[in-house]
Amino acid sequence: MDHEASLKKYTLLVATTASFLTPFMGSAINLAVPAIGKEFNSSALLLSWVVTSFLLASAAFLVPFGRLADIVGRKKVFITGITIFSLASIFCGMAGSVEALIAFRVLQGVGSAMIFGTGMAILTSVFPPQERGKVLGINGATVYVGLSLGPVLGGFMNHQFGWHSIFYLNAVLGILAALLAFYKLTGEWAGASGEKYDWVGALLYILGLVTFMYGVSATATSALAKYLLAVGFMLLILFIRYEMKVTYPVLNLKLFSRNITFAFSNLAALINYSATFALGFLLSVYLQVVMGYDSQQAGLILLAQPVLMALLSPFAGRLSDRVEPRIVSSWGMALTTLGLGVFSFLSGGTPLWLIIINLALLGTGFALFSSPNSNAVMGSVEKKYYGIASSTLGTMRLTGQAISMAIVTLIINLFVGNVELNTADAALLLKGTRTAFMVFAIVCLGGVFASLARGNVKASLGMGPEDKQADRQ
């Protein structure tokens, strides 16, 4: 095997292993939420922060680390990130209180930001444009394998060994991925080597995004939240004004203003994840608290969705190499809207077969959306922006996920209140779950139009002839 073929093989292996970790952790922890709540006597609202704290940290650090990776080398940042993620996983497993668990989840989120700010960029750097859809499809499938194994393996491990074991398994996988990357990846892929890092912009971005997203997430439960929301909004406005004047900004805002494909593909991702991420959390609580299944049974039921995602994602990625990506992803968003609408009619007597069929429908919609949308984003920028494009897309995903959890937190507070999950009124919990799905279906419907509005990828790259030439080299 020649060097190039070997590099491609190991790059794909390392990137897909890293891409497996965080979705596996997320979907596995959803199944363990009731057990964590029982061990620490935590309220449903505090438990939602076990999920949200990770998302906040990941979203806030993704763009700054993506830009840093473009300058100092993507391999360095990637290995550092996966090491931090692995160590934080060990600390999470050893946590003695829900507050300590939330703190270690923040650290895990920082490591995750370094992984996701570089993984897709490394893939896109190593593989040529004509193979991009295929490898992004394979990478997307690995994400969905993680989501598939999360409920089954996570539910089993939680049931047999306790929720701590889920974090320890992630630590072992992370350490293996870090060693593989250290010894087998031979490049650094610093696309913007020599450029100055924008530390002021990075600080404004992190502080602005954290305060803004915390304000959104805690509006229902904290009087201080609305003030933090306003402070965060002002910091983000200041960040935008500052970035427009800097020679080497941490986030090149011209990518949004001059490139309609890039802008609307990112908007579509934000809307999609805002509407869909909390689905696993809601159904896990519904199946265990309302329907009375244990975590192992609930995990097997939830398997229908990610299995379809894993099976169809490589096909959707290859399809987007031949068919305009916006068409494929818009159909995916439409199917997702339909599935979310069906779940807004859940009841205590909803037949299990209907839940499984609808989960399969949602899995199909997710697969058709995700890989083609990623292909559209990465295919719309030149090489030196791969790191920042990957980070921006990841930020949209994580910000959307945090918004999704914020909506659920708000609705749970309105319907159930700040009570322990095991004493919550099942009828009120069910009413809140239906309301959340109705809101998500409406949000996702708006995403269909954002997906269609992006135009043709090749026709709206927003690049001059010299940029297109650079992208081909």
**What value does the mean pLDDT of the chain take?**
81
Does 256 lie in the same domain as 241? Answer: no
Does 335 lie in the same domain as 418? Answer: yes
- Domain finish residue from 224, 247, 270: 247
Report which of 291, 292, 304, 425 is spatially closest to residue 351, judged by C-alpha positions: 291
Does 186 lie in the same domain as 212? Answer: no
pLDDT band at 464 (very low <50, low <70, confident <90, very high): very low
Does 353 lie in the same domain as 261? Answer: yes
- What is the rounded distance in angstroms from the CA atom of residue 279 to the CA atom of residue 275? 8
For 197-239, write each residue's pLDDT tens digit: 889 999 999 999 889 888 877 776 677 888 888 999 999 999 9
For 6-41, write each residue's pLDDT tens digit: 777 788 888 888 888 877 887 788 778 888 888 888
Q: 213 and 59 in contact (C-beta within 8 Å)?
A: yes
- What is the rounded distance in angstroms from the CA atom of residue 76 to the CA atom of residue 44? 38
- Residues spanned by the domain of 213: 198-247
Q: For the chain, give the number of residues.
A: 473
- Domain finish residue from 212, 247, 282: 247
Contacts of 137 (CB under 8 A, 6+ apart): 313, 314, 315, 316, 317, 318, 320, 371
- For residues 132 and 429, which has the higher predicted lDDT (pLDDT)? 429
Does 218 lie in the same domain as 344? Answer: no
For 253-291, write each residue's pLDDT tens digit: 877 877 888 888 888 889 988 988 888 888 888 888 888
- For residues 137 and 59, which has the higher predicted lDDT (pLDDT)? 59
User: For the stretch 245-278, what's the b/e string if a residue is b when 16 or more beta carbons lie within 10 angstroms of its beta carbon?
Assistant: eeeebbbbeebbeebbbbbbbbbbbbbbbbbbbb
Q: 162 and 35 in contact (C-beta within 8 Å)?
A: yes
- Whether the pLDDT of residue 162 is over 90: the answer is no
**Sign of torsion, CA 248 252 257 259?**
positive
Does 112 lie in the same domain as 223? Answer: no
Does 173 lie in the same domain as 54? Answer: yes
Partnered with residue 259 across adjacent β-strands are none
- What is the rounded distance in angstroms from the CA atom of residue 132 to the CA atom of residue 472? 12
pLDDT in the model for residue 469: 39
- Whether the pLDDT of residue 343 is over 80: the answer is yes
Q: Structure pTM? A: 0.74
Does 204 lie in the same domain as 92? Answer: no
- Whether the pLDDT of residue 455 is over 80: the answer is no
Partnered with residue 43 across adjacent β-strands are 420
Rounded to 10°, the helix 44-72/3-40 angle is 160
Contacts of 323 (CB under 8 A, 6+ apart): none
pLDDT in the model for residue 473: 36
Tell how many helices (H) and how many strands (E) occur in the chain: 19, 0
**Sign of torsion, CA 46 47 52 53?**
positive
Q: Give how many domains the chain has, as a whole number.
A: 2
Does 30 lie in the same domain as 169? Answer: yes
Does 72 lie in the same domain as 135? Answer: yes
- Domain finish residue from 208, 227, 247: 247
User: For the stretch 135-161, what's the b/e string if a residue is b when 16 or more beta carbons lie within 10 angstroms of its beta carbon?
Assistant: bbbbbbbbbbbbbbbbbbbbbbbbbee
The residue with tokens 């790191």 is 387
Does 214 lie in the same domain as 181? Answer: no
DSSP string, 23-72: HHHHHHHHHHHHHHHHHHT-BHHHHHHHHHHHHHHHHHHHHHHHHHHHHH
Provide the CA 74 distance to its chain's centre, in angstroms.
19
CATH label of the domain that carries residue 154? 1.20.1250.20
Does 209 lie in the same domain as 76? Answer: no
Give how far Cα 312 sits from Cα of 21, 359, 360, 368, Å: 20, 14, 11, 7
Give how far Cα 14 sits from Cα of 7, 21, 169, 172, 179, Å: 10, 11, 17, 14, 10
